[in-house]
Amino acid sequence: MRNRRQVAVVGVTGYTGLELARILLRHPALQPPVFYVRETNGAKCLAELFPQFRGWGQAALRPLAVEAIASSGAGAAFLATPHEVSAELAPALIKAGLSVVDLSAAFRFREAEAFTSWYQLAAPHAQWLREAVYGIPELYAGEIAKARLVANPGCYATSVILALRPLVQAGWLAPGAGVVCDCKSGASGAGKDPRRDLHFVEVDENFKAYSLFNHRHTPEILEHTGLCESQVVFSTHLLPLARGILSTIYVSLAEPQTAADIETLYRKFYAGRPMVRLWSAGTLPELQHVAHTNFCDIGFALDKSARRLVVVSCLDNLGKGAAGQAVQNFNHMLGIEEQTSLQ
């Protein structure tokens, strides 16, 4: 592509930041990004810190400074930074004329109280919470295309919302009936900071539940499905895998439906959305089908009563659950094909 654009990436040392680097360095509409980190440790390019990027070109590595980013010629910035860092950086960069895709949770909520309650951190100013667009392109592509600030969703939230939204919007769920979202994730979803419970000997050959009734992605799921808290049971589990999310979602239907009806509903809802792949009735996706991709695969099974439905949603938590979706959002902001650099 001609007239390749310059972007900045802030925070590249975590798993999400590294995945973002891998996608952006091969993006045909972009110049090699400039990467900003708190500490360069004397390194001048990304490959000096991360040898896997040797031969990918001289991706510059610079100390983090808003003034440096603003004067770099970048028109946009990706923030793979902690919530509190993003809360300060994003407004400053937007004021400097950049658009921002933020991969933290800082701008995912309309109400400051929700962020403060779930994350125990001071919320960004209400102006920025109102302006931020929640970044699921399959639902909000028009708003994303015009946005200055996109809040990239949580990985679990993306998996569950994409699975449930067609049913909710069609009014097919039984009123007041419970919805069980039983979700499993690989260990990279917990981030790169060292923790005893994420050591190899703790994760390998083990499987456990965690954050029951208090997982931070809960309010995202409620807001973007329209379901109420008393209706949803959201359980999360840690798999002995590096990456991937599989969500098994149990719902009751208001009226009997055929498998063909359900398949038609999903295919119409996601028509023209290439990053959601739908499986035929009775066939179910697996984590290996979505690893290292930006796809969300959705399948389902319907019981004999035609009123009990199980939906299975799979994605890569670093791909469609994080860095891949961030680039998909940015492609919409650029006005180019949303799957650019993602296939």
Domains 7-131 and 155-317 in one fold: no
Predicted local confidence at residue 193, as pLDDT: 66
Rounded mean pLDDT, 57-72: 88
Rounded to whole angstroms, what are the CA distances from 203 to 58, 125, 271? Answer: 36, 39, 39
How high does pLDDT run on average in the chain?
94
DSSP assignments along 240-277, one per residue = SSSS-EEEEEEEEBSS---HHHHHHHHHHHTTT-TTEE
pLDDT (tens digit per residue) in 165-184: 999 999 999 998 999 999 99
Which one of 45, 155, 181, 296 is the catalytic residue? 155
Question: Out of 3.40.50.20, 3.30.70.1710, 3.40.50.720, 1.10.3470.10, which CATH number does the structure's domain 7-131 have?
Answer: 3.40.50.720
pLDDT (tens digit per residue) in 102-120: 999 999 999 999 999 999 9
CATH number of 155-317: 3.30.360.10
Whether 45 sits among the annotated catalytic residues: the reply is no
In the predicted model, is pLDDT for residue 191 greater than 70?
A: no
- Residue 206 banded pLDDT, cuts 50, 70, 90: confident
Show me where the domains of the chain are located.
7-131, 155-317
Which DSSP letter does residue 302 get? E
Predicted local confidence at residue 3, as pLDDT: 79
